[in-house]
Amino acid sequence: YGLHTADTAKVFVEGAGIVAQARAEQLAARLGLPCPPLMIGEAVDGLQLELESLGLVYPRDARVRRVKPQREMPFPDALYLPGEGEDEFSDGAVAR
């Protein structure tokens, strides 16, 4: 879809990154420089900021990453070593 809209008479934002990357590669080739790397993250961030400034999308909320709690026993060991920890699902559980 992005490639389809990159070279049409009407401007679609989906094709802007593709056109920018192609122009950067052409300029690098003309100047004898190595091909520039893909900058997907920077493109997405720039598009997000621009759309936020126009009021077309909700601002990105900065969420704090939650840290997973450390378990006493890793998950696979908990499955394959049932004698290490008793619970209501193990064979040694007392019926309620």
Which is it for the CA torsion 84, 90, 91, 94, positive or negative?
positive
Contact 35, 24 (CB under 8 A): no
Residue 6's domain comprises: 2-54
The residue-averaged pLDDT of 2-23 equals: 70
Q: Is residue 72 one of the residues assigned to a domain?
A: no
Q: Is residue 77 one of the residues assigned to a domain?
A: no
Q: Is residue 26 one of the residues assigned to a domain?
A: yes
Per-residue model confidence as pLDDT tens digits over 18-45: 788 888 899 999 999 998 888 778 878 8
Q: Is residue 40 one of the residues assigned to a domain?
A: yes
Nearest to 74 by CA among 65, 84, 86: 84
Contact 24, 36 (CB under 8 A): yes
Q: Which residue has the higher pLDDT, 7 or 34?
A: 34
Q: Is residue 89 one of the residues assigned to a domain?
A: no
Per-residue model confidence as pLDDT tens digits over 73-89: 666 665 666 665 555 66
pLDDT for res 70: 74
Please provide the distance, in angstroms rounded to a whole number, between the alpha carbons at the two ends of the chain: 59
Q: What is the pTM of this model?
A: 0.42
Q: Is residue 92 one of the residues assigned to a domain?
A: no
Percent of the chain residues past pLDDT 90, beyond the cut: 7
Q: In the chain, how many domains are there?
A: 1
Q: Is residue 62 one of the residues assigned to a domain?
A: no
Q: If residue 3 lies in a helix (H) or strand (E), which one and from where to where?
A: helix 2-5
